Amino acid sequence: MSNSERIIIFDTTLRDGEQSPGVSLNVEEKLQIGRQLKKLNVDVIEAGFPIASPGDFQSVKRIAQELRGLQVAALARAKEKDIDTAWEAIKDGENPRIHTFIATSDIHLQYKLRKTREQVLDMAQAAVRYAAKFTNNVEFSAEDASRSDLDFLCKVFEAVIDAGANTVNFPDTVGYAVPHDFGRMIRYVVEHTPNIHKAILSVHCHNDLGLATANVLTALENGARQVECTVNGIGERAGNAAMEEVVMAIRTRQDVLPFDTAICSQHIMAASRLVSMLTGMVVQANKAIVGANAFAHEAGIHQDGVLKERTTYEIINPKDIGLSKGILVLGKHSGRHALKAKLEEVGYKLSDEEIDRVFTRFKSLADKKKEVYPEDVEALVAEEVLRIPDRYRLVYLHVAGGSGIRPTATVIMEIDGEEVDGVSLGTGPIDAAYKAVAELVKTESHLLRFAVNSITGGTDAQGEVFVRLEEGNYVVTGHGTDPDIITASVRAYLNALNRLEHMKENALQ
């Protein structure tokens, strides 16, 4: 490792990741993810796009103020107002970074910006020069670089480096690149930008063709030294290069990838679960590194090999990413202090009031389950702490159904603190419950997606439900957990409805 070149990990889960369809994180949720990213020891957290909304501004500001020992970046278009707002959000951070961008491909210039190359060159240089008045930590991104004329791109990079950029980013914005050609482009930039040695060359790869991680690795081989990525690979459309894939590829294949990162890989699984839980984006079972099947062996030959010697069929030690089968030894007789200690073991430092809320749910859960797992505790924290204030709250739910019986749901809810009740029939128990809730809140939303998972094994496992709702231009996700799958489903539905109201309120501010 001593001869390995250091790769900077720039995590954009909170900015590009949050642009995933249906994802909307509140300030506390972003802070929780930010704290986990700090445990991972990422070099840079891109906390958001402050000009986008007051909520985004506040979350970036809070993250910059709280998280030390790393760089917090804020995105800004090549406009002075954007840059002013970005700086105001991050100025209290430790070595804050302004990340400004403008498109450089002819297709973007012609149809989106309606600017000439000369105008874009001037705008890019002026934006970086302006940002450099606030900080010497300035990054410039050439949006849609992989479809740009490379000679023009080199001129832009040369100009912005002269203006004060110490990082220049080459994004494959639409996931168009393929590895061998992407490597050629990165090498061309290195060889034809005279002052490239004065800046770090970064890449930001999207996964539209399923090649994001491959493109990142070939970029590193050809001179890039910063990777912009996200936990679980979430992001616009098909997402981004997955941080865990890039990091573990480098660590596993040192023979052909002589690089190193500062990532504390034992926190990868915890980060993956947290991001999945808070965004409502379920990790596919066969996802590399963090999928449920990533270390599962069903074939007899494979099982025999792993039992004799793990490395016969496992190229990564599960412990290296924090994958453990350990059980939290908690049950219905466990006290508040024991729960607090176990919460801290899995990475949560909560206030006394927050612990009280989690403890109430924990005691209810412990009455129903013999063993409480780390995943169960994380789910309780997500339910009781890491969610927006509820306008709609479930008070009582009763569902009747069975063979030959028309499913009926009785629901009592609080809406703005006032109790209301309703009854509805449905084609199934969940359908009946959702119809009763919909009638009470008078929602016009449509259910786009409904997914059920088991948090742990066993018939007493908590059910975890994710839903996606659409109303007008708004798309939101909701998350709910409970040993009773119908209750979990209603919790998820109400969580989504609360998020929908939250988004509407923010849009009016």
Q: Residue type for 169, please? A: N
Phi, psi of 304 (to 5 degrees): -60, -45
Q: Residue 203: count other Cβ atoms within 10 Å of its Cβ.
A: 31
User: What gap in Å lies between CA 375 and CA 386, rounded to an integer?
Assistant: 15
List the one residue out of 36, 509, 506 whose CA is nearest residue 268.
36
For tokens 């996200």, name the residue: 230
Could you tell me the sign of the dihedral formed by the alpha carbons of 117, 119, 120, 125, in that order?
A: positive
Bridge partners for 424 per DSSP = 409
List the one residue out of 57, 49, 94 whose CA is nearest residue 72.
94
Domain 392-508 has CATH 3.40.47.10: no
- Give the per-residue pLDDT at 326: 46
Q: Residue 353: count other Cβ atoms within 10 Å of its Cβ.
A: 8
- Give the per-residue pLDDT at 332: 62
Q: What is the dihedral of CA 111, 114, 119, 122, to 10 degrees?
A: -70
What are the start-end ranges of the E strands in 136-280? 138-143, 167-172, 200-205, 226-229, 259-260
Could you tell me the sign of the dihedral formed by the alpha carbons of 124, 112, 14, 269, in that order?
A: negative
Note the pTM of the prediction, 2 decimals. Answer: 0.84
What are the start-end ranges of the E strands in 7-69? 8-11, 44-48
Indicate the domain borders of the chain: 5-279, 336-384, 392-508
Q: What is the pLDDT along the chain (509 residues), one digit of tens a residue?
A: 346 799 999 999 999 998 887 787 888 889 989 999 999 999 999 999 999 988 899 999 999 999 999 999 999 999 999 999 999 999 999 999 999 999 999 999 999 999 999 999 999 999 999 999 999 999 999 999 999 999 999 999 999 999 999 999 999 999 999 999 999 999 999 999 999 999 999 999 999 999 999 999 999 999 999 999 999 999 999 999 999 999 999 999 999 999 999 999 999 998 998 898 888 888 988 999 999 888 876 556 555 665 667 677 788 998 899 876 544 556 666 778 878 877 776 667 788 888 888 888 888 887 776 667 666 777 788 777 766 667 899 999 999 988 888 999 999 999 999 999 999 999 999 999 999 999 999 999 999 989 898 877 777 788 889 898 999 888 888 888 888 999 999 999 998 999 888 777 766 55
- Give the per-residue pLDDT at 507: 62
List the one residue out of 163, 248, 152 whose CA is nearest residue 193.
152
For residue 419, what are the contacts with CB-CB under 8 A and spacing of at least 6? 395, 412, 413
Largest CA distance in the chain: 78
Cα 503–Cα 508–Cα 509 angle in degrees, nearest 5: 100
Calculate the CA 192 to chain-centre distance.
35
- Give the per-residue pLDDT at 367: 79
Query: CATH classification of 5-279, choosing from 3.40.50.620, 3.40.120.10, 3.20.20.70, 3.40.50.720?
Result: 3.20.20.70
85, 372, 380, 467, 485 from 332: Cα distances, Å: 50, 10, 15, 30, 21
